[in-house]
Amino acid sequence: MEKLLELLEQDCTMPVSALAAAAGVSEEEAKAAIKEFENDCTILGYQAIIDWDHVRKETVTALIEVNVTPQSKDGFDRIAERIYQYDEVESMYLMSGSFDLTVIISGRTLREVAQFVGERLAPIQGVTGTATHFILKKYKEKHLVFRPQDPEEREYIFV
Amino acid sequence: MNYDNILNKRIQNIQPSGIRKFFDILEEMTDAISLGIGEPDFVTPWHIRDAGIYSLERGRTKYTSNAGLLQLRREIAAYLERRFDLRYDYASQVIVTVGGSEGIDLAMRVLLEPGDEVIVPVPSFVCYGPLAEMAGGVPKYLPLKAENEFRLTPEELRSAITDKTKVLVLPFPCNPTGGTMDRKDLEAIAEVLKGTDIMVISDEIYAELTYGHRHVSPANLTDLYDRTVVVNGFSKSHAMTGWRMGYLCGPAPIIQQALKLHQFGIMSAPTTSQYAAVEAMRNGDGDIEHMREEYDRRRRYLVENLNRIGLTCFEPKGAFYVFPDVRSTGLSSEEFCEKFLLEEKVAVIPGSAFGPGGEGFVRACYAASMKDIAEAVARMDNFLTNLRRKQGREG
């Protein structure tokens, strides 16, 4: 059933019949497995990957490095939770290396990002420093390349 | 000028492929889906393309040795042993060719005397007959049967052999049927050939694309090794069709003669492509597995769904084609393809294009995106439903 997950990760719009055939299971089995994956939160959700530049949305994506003081009992989790509960936070990871958390904020204006960092993130008790990086251009996300599709150059040949 | 009198008669007599008209229709269509072209839909993996580019950056723009870069021949020999347990000496038994097609051409020309017969199992790729004729040979088409999953049986072979037979073509895994030959099938063929001077040209361009079993080459059989010339290449295994990279392997005396033809006709295969091919051999096994797995998913989906909507389709064990039986529709394979293309805008190829024996079948290539394949199945379902309704009314 791991195969099903791989297929869904590639393209969750595939009809169940196609998923099942590709994974080598029956349609009923595939349906049941997907239901179970959804119930136990193995599958968290289904989303589209959008190139917002196409609709000229003047928004930015920011990657914020955050340094925090871990708390004695809960380590980083407690403070992480206080940060990721904010709707503005799109993704967040605990990191190894020179800073502790990566916080990604997208679909906001520059001002909104500044406001979030200055008024919400930085004042949280335990946050000792932040460094905000703005993403200038997206090249690739989740194996998908951000560029207009080249026109099909396939020539017809009989093989 | 009356060119008919000037041009070579043998060439003039060769019929061009009848498929062109489908492509002409297709080119005019918008939102058409093509399951017609037999070529990987993958782009050559980046590390292989990069190796080609890097060779240009380093100024590797000269000829290579006639037989191909020494390091590439070494890699090919190592690859054949690693993947298929085939043993060839890179120095005397391997030529790097311009695609598998040149390999087939070389093999035909080096083996055939005027009038020699070439047994060509059909349906199969269209080049064997014309290339045999161009080499002075006489193709003898041997129709294979759907009920044998388009394998060549020893009885069929025996019935086709005459005292003029020089070459047997073994086009497995097979385009267009997806048929394969396992070791037992090949042993039976070896038994028939025992004591004859009949040579085997084994076109193994789809050798990496087998599902549920590994490809067995006739050259894997001790009894057939000395009479077998193996044609293979990078087009299908590494999605490198446009690079035109193939190779020919076989007994040293044959390869040495073939090298003369290659030397005078071609000089050496394209240098950039050869450098890319070295990378493909060294670090490309993972790509092969990845693509095969992807094809296999599509194959299972297509076979299951064609059968579901009422087109009988045996499970192809190799290549990237399904070959459903359309006789139940009452249409010839060409009528079927034309109607299907005009009504539903999906291109598949009539089986009749692949020689006698192919009539009543159509070839659909599943080297296409899952989305296109799913859409093609839906349109096929629609097409068949409409067809049955119409036929019901008329009947």
- B58 and B9 housed in the same domain: no
Domain count, chain B: 2
- B230 and B81 housed in the same domain: yes
Q: What angle do CA B327, B332, B334 make, to 5 degrees?
A: 130
The whole-number pLDDT of residue B29 equals 86
CATH code assigned at B97: 3.40.640.10
The whole-number pLDDT of residue B19 equals 74
- Backbone φ and ψ for B387, nearest 5 degrees, come out as -60, -45
| B265 found inside a domain | yes
The whole-number pLDDT of residue B395 equals 59
- B132 and B74 housed in the same domain: yes
Q: How confident is the model at residue A24 (pLDDT cuts 50, 70, 90)?
A: confident
Task: Check: CB of residue A101 under 8 Å from CB of residue A86.
Answer: no
The whole-number pLDDT of residue B196 equals 97
Q: How confident is the model at residue B220 (pLDDT cuts 50, 70, 90)?
A: very high
Task: Check: CB of residue B125 under 8 Å from CB of residue B349.
Answer: no
Task: Please report the number of interchain residue pairs, chain A to chain B, with beta-carbon separation below 8 angstroms.
Answer: 47
Determine the residue among B15, B37, B302 to mutate to test chain A binding: the one whose Cβ has the most chain A Cβ atoms within 10 Å. B37
Structure tokens at B132: 């045999």
CATH code assigned at B375: 3.90.1150.10
Whether the CA torsion B252, B215, B156, B192 is positive or negative: it is positive
The last residue of one of the domains, among B264, B283, B302, is B283
| B299 found inside a domain | yes
- B64 and B157 housed in the same domain: yes
Chain A residues with CB under 8 Å of B19 CB are 158
| B291 found inside a domain | yes
- B60 and B162 housed in the same domain: yes
Mean pLDDT, rounded, for B110-117 = 98
Write down the pTM of the prediction.
0.89
- B254 and B136 housed in the same domain: yes
Is pLDDT above 90 for B195?
A: yes
Domain that holds residue B322: 3-44+286-388
- SS3 letters for B133-179? HHCCCEEEEEECCHHHCCCCCHHHHHHHCCCCEEEEEECCCCCCCCC
Per-residue model confidence as pLDDT tens digits over A28-60 = 999 999 999 999 999 999 999 998 888 877 889
| B395 found inside a domain | no
The answer to whether B26 contacts A22, with C-beta atoms less than 8 Å apart, is no
DSSP B230: E
Determine the residue among B31, B295, B297, B375 to mutate to test chain A binding: the one whose Cβ has the most chain A Cβ atoms within 10 Å. B297
| B393 found inside a domain | no
Integer CA distances (angstroms), B91 to B84, B98, B106, B236, in order: 19, 18, 18, 25
- B257 and B302 housed in the same domain: no
The last residue of one of the domains, among B259, B283, B307, is B283
| B362 found inside a domain | yes
Which is it for strands B138-143 and B117-122: parallel, antiparallel or unpaired? parallel
- B85 and B233 housed in the same domain: yes
- B236 and B167 housed in the same domain: yes
Which residues of chain B have a Cβ shorter than 8 Å from any chain A Cβ? 17, 19-20, 23, 26-27, 34, 36-39, 125-126, 175, 241, 297-298, 300-301, 304-305, 349, 353, 370-371, 373-374
Percent of chain B with pLDDT over 70: 99
The last residue of one of the domains, among B283, B317, B348, is B283
Chain A residues with CB under 8 Å of B298 CB are 22
Q: How confident is the model at residue B270 (pLDDT cuts 50, 70, 90)?
A: very high
| B292 found inside a domain | yes
The whole-number pLDDT of residue A56 equals 74
CA proximity to B271, closest of B28, B6, B125, B60 = B60
Per-residue model confidence as pLDDT tens digits over B278-292 = 999 999 999 999 999
- B269 and B171 housed in the same domain: yes
| B366 found inside a domain | yes
The whole-number pLDDT of residue B18 equals 67
- Backbone φ and ψ for B278, nearest 5 degrees, come out as -60, -45
The answer to whether B17 contacts A158, with C-beta atoms less than 8 Å apart, is yes
What was the ipTM of the complex prediction? 0.72
Mean pLDDT, rounded, for B31-60 = 95
- B202 and B315 housed in the same domain: no
- B227 and B94 housed in the same domain: yes
